[in-house]
Amino acid sequence: MIELDRNRRRPLLPGAWWLSLRSRLAGCWLLAALSTASAALVELPSTGIVADGATLNTTALQRAIDACSAAGGGTLHFPAGRYVTGTLQLKDNVTLHLDTNAVLLGSTNAADYRNVDPFIDGSGSTMGYALIAGIGARQVGLEGPGTIDGRGAEVKAAQTHYTIRPFLVRWVKCRDIVVTNVHLINSGAWTMNFFQSEQAVVSRVTIRSLGLVNNDGIDLDSCGHIRIADCHINSGDDALCLKATSPLPCHDITATNCELQTHCNAIKLGTESLGDFTHIRISHCQIHDTHLSGIALYSVDGAHLTDVTISDITMDRITVPISIRLGARLNVFRAGDQAKPAGLLRDVTIKNVRATGVTQIGMLINGLPGHPVENLTLDNIQIELPGGGTAADAAVVLPEKPAAYPEMTMFGKVMPAYGIYLRHARGVMTTNVTLSTLKPDARPPFVLIDTAGVDLTRFARVVTTTPP
């Protein structure tokens, strides 16, 4: 049955901004149910909810959420069963709790989804559809150990043109959010997106979202005071991504102890970068089997990306461990927003990083003429590289591409250095950075172009030849 838990309390948010998310104390008359051996049938005062994996429950579930919020709030409890629904909008003081073997299934009919806050993403596509959404809601959340399954591949297959790509979970201008111990799978686009939301905790969440365009893991867009901890993400697109599609900043974000696997970038700040990024701390993450960059920092739409520390990261089987780009694409993503001039990328620290199984280059760092990357500290970094580069590779000249979509692939597959390519930079300090190659490499360990105040003298270069 679906019932109200009046006694459940929310965890305290960590950090200097301690905040108590009050328990749902007010009564909610949405109780009572009838179950059968084959499917859970939930009787609400006016209609029923059928957990048979086929019946569309959007209207009944939304009535339950609305009535529960109107009565003061509570936790809607989903026992084992398969509940099909289109877009659901969470309201103030409502949490969904899914038991083991409880699955909330996205409808495969694109007409059952609503675009709760339209915007244009970095590729120019209209986005904003979602299976579960909160719009301006307070004290809301999702709890496991059950599963939310977007059935993204089926949603795509049902459309002649794949124009409706629902996010799995979307929080728009919400506050006091807790998402914990839930499984999120098979999204039609980004798996969990926060937009202009504040004060949230995401913990012990498992994400499995592969096979479609924009299958990101967790996206924080123009958000503040958010903590992510102990999550496991396997995504087709970026795993943990901070964006700013609005002029508001992404600020005071902490992420720790997460395992990340992705076909794209594991930890990324930017691409969409109209608003600033500041006071970001990411630590103690394990990254593996990642096809692009382990750490990607991209300001290309005017953002000031400052005061960022990323530390204690291990990587294995990755293309480029660290990719940094200050560019001048200068996009806007919503009607009425004004384009900005090229931004800043400075005061960034990356430390205590170990990367093995690297396939292309250790670090790819590019500013713009007149807009350098500044005050970058690289401390205690060990990178194992394949080697095998040739003298012809060393002669390659990388294009500037100031307005291009930022990605480590933008400059081509052949790098003129095997360790670090550093262009348009000021004040880059390195301490205890080790570059090792599995085979001899005819390229230099690093290439510097238009740099000043750059200290690469403390490198410990180790060349190891693979035994016959």
Tell me the average pLDDT across 26-35: 26
339: how many CB neighbours lie within 10 A of its CB?
11
| pLDDT value of position 28 | 32
pLDDT, tens digit, 9 for 90 and up, residues 370-395:
999 999 999 999 999 999 999 999 99
| pLDDT value of position 242 | 98
Over 50: is that where the pLDDT of 40 sits?
no
pLDDT band at 25, cuts 50/70/90? very low
Question: Which residues is 258 bridged to in the sheet?
Answer: none
pLDDT, tens digit, 9 for 90 and up, residues 138-169:
999 999 999 999 999 999 999 999 899 999 99
Tell me the average pLDDT across 12-18: 33
| pLDDT value of position 124 | 78
pLDDT band at 468, cuts 50/70/90? very low
Q: Count Cα atoms within 13 angstroms, Cβ side, for 212.
A: 28
Over 60: is that where the pLDDT of 176 sits?
yes
Pair 423, 401: CB distance under 8 Å: no
Helix (H, G, I), strand (E, B) or coil at 411: helix
261: how many CB neighbours lie within 10 A of its CB?
20
pLDDT, tens digit, 9 for 90 and up, residues 88-130:
999 999 999 999 999 999 999 999 999 988 888 777 788 899 9
pLDDT band at 33, cuts 50/70/90? very low
State the Cα–Cα distance between residues 267 and 136, nearest whole angstrom.
27
Tell me the average pLDDT across 351-375: 97
Tell me the average pLDDT across 244-265: 97
pLDDT band at 204, cuts 50/70/90? very high
Percentage of the chain lying above the pLDDT 90 cut: 80
Query: First CA to last CA across the chain, in angstroms?
Result: 65
Structure-token pair, residue 203: 């913990």
pLDDT, tens digit, 9 for 90 and up, residues 447-457:
999 999 997 76
Residue of 237, 243, 236 whose CA lies nearest to 220: 243
| pLDDT value of position 120 | 81
pLDDT, tens digit, 9 for 90 and up, residues 72-89:
888 999 999 999 999 999
| pLDDT value of position 35 | 24
Pair 120, 76: CB distance under 8 Å: no
Helix (H, G, I), strand (E, B) or coil at 410: helix
| pLDDT value of position 1 | 46
Q: Which CATH number fits domain 74-463: 2.160.20.10, 3.10.180.10, 3.90.1150.10, 3.30.365.10?
A: 2.160.20.10
